[in-house]
Structure 1
């Protein structure tokens, strides 16, 4: 095979990197979307993958049918790092006390999209697999890599790819069905706002909810103030 493309990548030829991006960015994006379920995060994964490819271009070796396994291996590592960072971010947010409840309309939208629901169930099922099995499954099944390409991307023997993929398929059939049948918890109703007409009405204990008067205001208005001044001068 002619490895001139590999040599141009190692040399940092900008034109060959443009060709590499045009040819493989859609594959990296689809793989990231299916793995994370987050389109915005998938776009970040694509950018980081090609930045890493540029930084690690000297490590590309003259073997295989092309740069795809090398590039997808970088994408797998980027996904590992971004997934860990996302978990830490979610854990940090969970420690922050909630203040205001904002209604979430996502469930209504997802309920209309069967494909989205199935993808979400598949992602939850994948999350219950061992990471090694999950990576083989997403590369071979969702991203369409050959066994040899997945082996090169992950740095493992082809036989290991086959055994992990078989185990992942068997386990996922049961897990995906469980996730699809799992009931979705109801979304709590947002708090009912107090209408303007209730301002000034009595509160639950009989106390008045009327706003306090500003400093200088006296009940009764000017007449009572005038009488008080007359009485003091008598």
Structure 2
């Protein structure tokens, strides 16, 4: 029972904490991955989340059912800190001279370009939401928490979660459409020597058909 596990975690039982990790680590990872879009960052968030959970176990409320909202609340805070550090790192890199990179496309990539375009648009739109709205959206929609559980995770009233979620859904739909339009309106990028991405893809496909 989660209630028994909660008590054992609060009392500092290592076996109980190991059980909690085995049960919820994947859910915390998925939440962190949705927030960051980066598997390495998500892994870091999971590690720090469980470390902070162990160190702060005495602050865990004695009553309640699932421990997942508590963990996701910690993970959300950890991600904020990790994101701030990553932003400072990106800003430092941006001050360095740019380096030209030419992407090498394969058939597998071409087949998935449509889905990748939509995923990129959703992630870009999500990043444009207010942080509070974005966190509520990821907890309720992607992590599947109830309004009450998300409120517990974020330490805000349930009514606040409902209003933020409604606002996030409306804004996200509009912003995703905007991002898709921006992506599709971008001019084709030339490759060195005047060759274009599309012609390169067509040439690769023609070569493969000739080999067949």
**TM, length-normalised to structure 2:** 0.81
Q: Which runs of 5+ in 1 are unaligned?
A: 193-234
Partners of 2:15 and 2:63 lie apart in 1 by 21
What is the deviation of 1:187?
4.6
Secondary structure of 1:4 counterpart: helix
Q: 1:189 aligns with which of 188, 191, 196?
A: 191
> How is 1:1-234 mapped onto 2 (pairs within 5 angstroms)?
3-98=3-98, 101-105=100-104, 111-113=110-112, 114-183=114-183, 184=186, 186-187=188-189, 189-190=191-192
Secondary structure of 2:16 counterpart: helix
Larger radius of gyration: 1
The number of residues matched between the two structures is 191
Q: Which runs of 5+ in 2 are unaligned?
A: 195-212
Secondary structure of 2:18 counterpart: helix
Secondary structure of 1:3 counterpart: helix
CA contact (8 A) 1:111 1:117 kept: no
CA contact (8 A) 1:102 1:190 kept: no
Task: Give per-residue Cα distances to partners, 1:182-226, cap 9 Å, x unaligned.
Answer: 23564553589xxxxxxxxxxxxxxxxxxxxxxxxxxxxxxxxxx
Partners of 1:111 and 1:174 lie apart in 2 by 27
Q: Which has the higher helix share?
A: 2
Which ranges of 4 or more aligned residues in structure 1 deviate by more than 4 Å? Answer: 106-111, 184-188
What is the deviation of 1:116?
3.3
What is the deviation of 1:110?
5.6
Partners of 1:36 and 1:109 lie apart in 2 by 25
**TM, length-normalised to structure 1:** 0.74
CA contact (8 A) 2:49 2:74 kept: yes
